[in-house]
Structure 1
Amino acid sequence: MGFNELIDRLDHSASVQAAGISRGYGGPPLREVSVTAGLTRLRCASLLKPLYAWVSAARVPGARWRDLAEPAVVVSSNADTIGLWLGVGPRVILDDLCERTGVRWALPNGDPSRFGSVEVTAAEVAAAYAVFAQAAAAGDPAACEVLGWMRQVSASQAFGAREATGSPETAVKCGWYGAPDETTLRTHVVALPPRTGAKATVIVAMTALPYTGARDRETYRTKVTQGLSVEDEHEKVAGEVLRGLMSTTLAELGHR
């Protein structure tokens, strides 16, 4: 199935993006692919937490960093992410990411404490994670540790990403949220299949799909307020689309 067929099935109000990068010293030439339908920028939800953790390592004492960064990545803990985000400083984290990856993201409008409201494109996310993956391949201790945590993300928070990439060893981080001011559910995934030598492959899929049922939205907000899981609702709305975007991106990259 190609991108056109996937996108043509969606409601006209849906927004989806996908991007992939495959590159590495001594390997085949750089390959990149990206597609966008709908909004050109989407709120990142929790998709960038591993990157926040990576650059924070240089600014937070080791034990304290692990206490916050590991749950931020492995179980997507918002409280621990905020500990890093506000402890280091949002502008400092984003400036450090730009210095390391060349990708610049702006603070979210209104409330800069909302780390998940940074607006990104799938191509930007793929570019930043490719640098992160190659840093891990080169032995960067913080990148290696964060990548290991991404491999520990449970299936319940992976939305079938490992099945879509064909490897149980794929490192994954997903983001999911339905904000009160949005009539969509945002569900995103970044996946880093096991590398071959210095070659790094990164796949990103992002969705903002219609979620307009009044009763569904009310139930969703109640669950969020009570701290209950909403991943099943995101799977119902976006799971198939995410996996389709991922597998198509891999195919376009010529990944085997």
Structure 2
Amino acid sequence: MGFNELLSDLHPSAGAQVAGIRRGYGGPPLRTLNVGCGPTRLRCASLLKPLYAWVSAARITDTERWRRHAEPAVVISSNADTLNLWLGIGPRVILDDLRRRTGVDWGLPNGDPSRFGSVEVAACEVAIAYAELAQAGAAGDPVAATVLEWMREVSGAQTFGVRDALRSPEAGIKGGWYGAPDETCLRTHAVAVLPRGGTRTTVVVGMTALPYTDAGERRVYQDRVMKGLPVEDEHDRVSGTTLRGLMATALADLGHHRRP
């Protein structure tokens, strides 16, 4: 299935993006891909948590404290631990450090700057940032390598079936999901980092913001969020097929070898 088939049936109000990068010394020439419909930028949900963990390590002298919050922020997508890093170091400091490390310049969301998941990003920017993380880890950055290992530990519903869709059980995964009370959509995102040996890497990012307008469903969803109950299954129901299809198609178009 190609991108036209995946995107043609989406509601006009939907947003969907997919981007990929395949690059690295000793490999084929750089290949990139960027396809989307709807808004050019989407709220990032929890998609950037591994990047926040990566750059925050240099700002926390107590390594154990950093690990205590960074690991659950990545592995189980803990919001409380992410906020400990985000607010303890400062949102502007973290985003400035990411710009210096990756070249990607992200700004604070409007309104409440403590809402780390409201930073607006484009999938192509996220792919660039994760490619920098992956290559730094491969080149000997111990913090980057640790964060990538944590991404390989992400499991269950938080992966949205992306590893299976990409036929890459060793891939590092991070999902992002949320439907804010002020939104009539569910945001469901995922990034996959597929190491290829040496400093070569392939990164695929899928982002969706699909309509979620039924008042009853939204009430149930918000009630579950307020109670701290999982909502990944609802995101998978609404967006999973589209997300996996976009990412699998992108990987094929990048020419990355997939297992049969």
Amino acid at match of 1:227: G
The question of 1:13 aligning with 2:4 is answered: no
Once the two structures are superposed, what CA deviation does each residue of 1:34-68 show, in whole Å capped at 9, x if it has no partner?
01100110000000000000000111120000000
The 5-angstrom pairing of residues 1-256 of structure 1 reads 1-60=1-60, 61-256=62-257
Once the two structures are superposed, what CA deviation does each residue of 1:110-156 show, in whole Å capped at 9, x if it has no partner?
10000000000000000111100000110100000000000000121
Amino acid at match of 1:230: V
Whether the 8 Å CA contact 1:44–1:119 is kept in 2: the answer is yes
What TM-score results when the alignment is normalised by the length of structure 1? 0.99
Quote the RMSD (CA, aligned, Å): 0.6
Whether the 8 Å CA contact 1:16–1:208 is kept in 2: the answer is yes
What stretches of structure 1 move > 6 A for 4+ residues in a row? none
Amino acid at match of 2:122: T
Distance 1:74 1:190 in 2: 14
What secondary structure is seen at the aligned counterpart in 2 of 1:76? coil
Distance 1:194 1:30 in 2: 15
What TM-score results when the alignment is normalised by the length of structure 2? 0.97
1:197 deviates by 2.3
Whether the 8 Å CA contact 1:73–1:146 is kept in 2: the answer is yes
- Unmatched runs of 5 consecutive residues or more in structure 1: none
- Unmatched runs of 5 consecutive residues or more in structure 2: none
Amino acid at match of 2:68: D
